[in-house]
Each structure stands twice: as C-alpha cells, then as structure tokens.
Amino acid sequence: MNFERFRVPPGTAVKLADFATHQTEPFRDKSAAEEKLAGDVQKLADLQSKLYAQNTYALLIILQGIDAAGKDGTIKHVMSGVNPAGCQVTGFKVPSEEELDHDYLWRYMRALPRRGNIGIFNRSHYEEVLVVRVHPELLGREHIHASKKREDLWAKRYREINDFERYLEENGIEVLKFFLHLSKEEQKDRFLARLDSADKNWKFSEADVKERDYWDDYQNAFEEMLSNTSTKDAPWYVVPADRKWFTRVAVSDIIVAKLESMNLSYPKLDGSQKDALDRARKILESEK
C-alpha cells in the first residue's frame, strides 16, 4: 500500500487545507480495509514478538489530533493482537503540580518504552506546542515568565523537541508520529453521536464543544507543528480521519512497514546455549 504519501517531508510548509480528511483510496469499501487490517494485526503480533525477544530496539508511536479524531479507537483496533506485556499506552491529561515543577518534557521521558517494547503516546509532548499555544495563559502554570517573547518560545520548543527525538533515535528508540486529520463537520457528527447514544455519553465533555471556538487557532498550531517537527528520523504522517476504518488500516500499514524495516529477528543461540538446551532436553526425556 502507498501510505507513504501521507508522510510530511522535512522542511515542508504544511497547509492542512491541502490534505484530504475523507480519502479512502485504495479501498472502495469498509470490508476490504478491514480484511487488510486483520492481516496487519497478525503481522504486528509476529513483529512485536521479535522486537521483544531481540530486546535491542523500542518503538514509540505518537498519536495527535483534534478531539474525537479517533485516537482511542485506532489504538484499540490496530494493537488488538499484540502482547500487552510488550506494549504500553500512555495518555497525557492536565499536568500535575509535581509535573509542572519539572521541565516540560520530564513527564514524557518517564513514559518512554523499554527496549523490546512498543510505547504509544495518546497525545504527547506536542501538547506543549498545541494546547499551550492556543491557550497561552497555561504558560503561567509552567512558571514561564510572562515577558518572554512567545514566538521565540515556540521556535525554541520545536528545536528542543527535534533534539529530543533525535536523541531517542540515536539510542535505539524509533519514533513514528501520526496526525489524525479530522474535518470540523465530522467532529460535529461524532459529538452528536456521543450525545445520542447512552453508551457513548460518558465520552462527552462540554469542554470539547467549547474548544470548537478555537478551531482555526488549533489548525494554525497543527500546521506550525507539522512544518517544524517532521524530520527524516521522526516523520509526521497526516492520516485522513473522517473514515475511522481507513485511519486504522493506514496507521497499521505504516507501523508494520516501520517494524519490517528494522530487520527484527529472534536471537540466535551460541554453542554453549545450544549445549544447555540439549542437556535440558535429556533431563526432561529421562523423566519417568
């Protein structure tokens, strides 16, 4: 599948209006995409097993998007076949007082995946150049001096984030970043669905609706984020999100391709380890 077309080349000045939210090519219908997703889920299970056994690399998957973009559902369906022991999901809410007393990347560093593991950030350190940028009053809680030039602050954070992700890659933590690109009309429909369905009421927050007043501000912040932080080693993928079934298969395909590119394999035993296995076999087979 040619989902590399969603990758943002480094140095690109991103305009989200140039990216479709409803695209489903090459799938004509949901059933074909779900068949492809089922195959990817099986591949992911095998690749994750090798990643875990090899214990050399880790994979960090970052999901960003406006409210109701489908981050939770993407995680649930794409990662449904992996071993939970080797995959951890971290969702980042409003930072605690302890977290605010540290640098802004501190809480994200603490949640990085171990070698052999897949870590998923449902929202991430990019909130520090998104929600904080749209609501600059939040900088007061981060103890940022009010007189600091805002434009200098965002440029500095982009650089720091790029340096952070390059450090991860150089230390064996591969980074994949997905921006789930949802239209304003589809977000409205999903919010209404949460109101209309009793089993989805718990997902509804009045604050989510109020944030729609800042739609344009968020789009501008997303564009700046994508333009400044899509790098060779940690690229952004802008994935159409109006059709959940397409979002899931696109994300799964890109993750599979990334893991396959890492040349994962089960560890090969040396002579002494093989001898130990032979001794263990003889002991077991000699039992009455």
pLDDT (average), residues 276-281: 90
pLDDT value at position 200?
73
Does residue 199 carry a pLDDT above 90? no
Q: Is residue 206 very low, low, confident or very high in pLDDT (cuts 50, 70, 90)?
A: confident
Q: Is residue 151 very low, low, confident or very high in pLDDT (cuts 50, 70, 90)?
A: low
pLDDT (average), residues 151-176: 96
pLDDT value at position 2?
77
* pTM (2 d.p.): 0.92
Does residue 112 carry a pLDDT above 90? yes
pLDDT value at position 205?
76
Q: Please give the mean pLDDT across all residues of the chain.
A: 93
Q: What are the start-end ranges of the E strands in the chain? A: 58-65, 87-91, 118-122, 173-181, 236-240
